[in-house]
Amino acid sequence: MKDIAIRIGQRGNLATLETLYPAAFPDEDLLPLVRALLAEPGSLVLSLVASVGQTLVGHILLTLCGVQGCDAKVALLGPLAVAPDYQQAGVGAALIQAGLREVETYGVSRVLVLGDPAYYSRFGFTPESEVVPPYPLPDEWREAWQSLPLGAATEQVAGELLVPSAWREPALWAA
């Protein structure tokens, strides 16, 4: 789709996001997480929205995190949602690519995601085993835990992912 505009999310977008997330995820309530992430200090969470014309059609969040015992700056990608009528048109890809570019400018050397490998592998994400999530994942989600190094990053990053409070909710990491 042409003319997908990506920009930094604003406080005033929340009402639209309250409709977008249930439409994109009819079986899962991600709004408590989205609200909690948007309430974290702005320096920790990057919120990007995608618009086509005047319509907000997609949203992504990336949270800046640490790794225990490491100096590395990493980011946790998600959630990501695209309005059903605008899916399969490059909106998700545009949000991911913009998000990766933006967090790289913050010095982030690796981005982690818990998501469908069939989708995220398209962007170069591969299974992650050195950085471990804050709560143990169920076996069926092991393949869903992935990462992507950014830029010329070569440093070894290993240890437990240190997440801000919005992500310290065991149910978010359980099937």
Residue choice 46, 56, 74, 82 for contact with ligand COA (CB under 6 A): 82
Number of Cβ atoms within 10 Å of the Cβ of 120: 21
**By the rule CB under 6 A, 92 interacts with ligand COA:** yes
Residue 114 and residue 174 in contact, taking contact as beta carbons nearer than 8 Å: no
State the residue number with the nearest CB to ligand COA.
92
* Closest distance of CB 156 from ligand COA, Å: 27
Say whether residue 22 binds ligand COA (CB under 6 A).
no
**Residues contacting ligand COA: total by CB under 6 A:** 16
For position 29 contacting ligand COA by CB under 6 A, the verdict is: no
**Bridge partners, 83 (sequence order):** none
Indicate the residue among 1 and 8 with the shorter CB distance to ligand COA.
1
One-character DSSP codes across 65-107:
EEETT----EEEEEEEEE-GGGTTSSHHHHHHHHHHHHHHHTT
Two tokens at 31? 């709004």
Report the interface residues with ligand COA, using CB under 6 A: 24-25, 80-82, 87-93, 115-116, 118-119
